[in-house]
Amino acid sequence: MIGRKWWVPWLWLSPALLLSGVFLLYPTIDTIRRSFLPRGSDALIGFDLDNYRFIIDNPQPLVADTHSALLNNFMWLTVFTAITVALGLVIAVLAARVRYEAVAKSAIFVPMAISFVAASVIWRFMYEFNPDIGTVNAVLKEVGGAPTRWLQDTGAPQTPFTHAGPDSLPHPLQINNFALVFVGVWMWTGFAMVVLSAGLKGISTEILEAARVDGANEWQIFWRIIIPNLSPTIAVVTTTLVIQALKKFDLVWVMTAGKFKTDVVATLFYKEAFLFNNPEIGAAVAVVLLLWVVPIMVISIRRFQFQEETR
């Protein structure tokens, strides 16, 4: 019997192991190795910390603003994730109560079906400064507001009618960063909604009816019944979105190329490694991103294991 031999599971595993070894493990180790090399070095191994010092000291704020990229990514992580999960949840709950649920959900899910680069190009047109081209500014102009430079304005978000605000703000609070995050939310709300909606359908109607019989109002049902029952699904959605936020690249690259202080970690490391010919600094930036992702992965794996055990 072939099934009893010790090497059989390894045989089945080998294609996956080989693939993840060649395409994941090797590049990861090589990136870490490279991040400790001095610039332009051919050495096999080194213990140089200059590349990490570069990230901390931020000596070239014009081309590679490491601080702003880290702060922006933190903003993506928190604001993008929070808004998307909240919106997805609200829409999933509300849509379940109307007759045209399928239509409403499809409409919100459609952006997910568009390639991210295509969606970013579309939104570049939407945000165009010239109101004859940019839909957002055309609407603003129609209602009497001033056109806003959505992708270039480094000021704080402000009402469209009082177009003067403080110029020097912490970078993540810039109007253009929020404009980018909005596009991310537009793309990902559909995903959050569909997954949460499926989770919602899984909550047994008996619990809901029991609550209603006990005299709970809809608000209490939402907070006391739906949310706790949905929390594993919310956790899954949040984890997915957090990872999305951390590796955000396409949207920023297509829409602003990181100009006007909209860089995130992924665009910064691409620029350093592939455009500015500093692969060692690029590697260090990538390692920082990796360090950021690892705890989130650990938490989600722990949670998954916990759920498996309690099942």
Binding site for other proteins (CB under 8 A): 2-3, 11-12, 14-15, 18-19, 22, 39, 59-64, 128-130, 149, 151-152, 154, 167, 257-260, 271, 275-278
For the CB of residue 115, give the shortest distance to other proteins in the complex, in Å. 18
Q: Which is nearer to other proteins, 237 or 284 (CB)?
A: 284
Q: How far is CA 272 from CA 2, 36, 61, 90, in A?
A: 51, 15, 13, 40
Instruction: List the alpha helices (DSSP H) in the chain.
Output: 8-20, 26-35, 50-57, 66-75, 81-95, 101-113, 116-126, 135-142, 175-202, 205-213, 218-220, 227-246, 250-255, 265-270, 279-310
Q: What angle do CA 48, 51, 57 make, to 5 degrees?
A: 120
For the CB of residue 120, give the shortest distance to other proteins in the complex, in Å. 11
Q: Which is nearer to other proteins, 83 or 126 (CB)?
A: 126
What the block records as the tokens of 19 is 């693939």
CA–CA separation, 24 and 35 (whole Å)? 17
For the CB of residue 181, give the shortest distance to other proteins in the complex, in Å. 19
For the CB of residue 57, give the shortest distance to other proteins in the complex, in Å. 11
Q: Which is nearer to other proteins, 35 or 68 (CB)?
A: 68
- The sign one gets for the Cα dihedral 193, 196, 199, 204 is negative
For the CB of residue 276, give the shortest distance to other proteins in the complex, in Å. 4
Q: Which is nearer to other proteins, 222 or 260 (CB)?
A: 260
Q: Which is nearer to other proteins, 77 or 281 (CB)?
A: 281
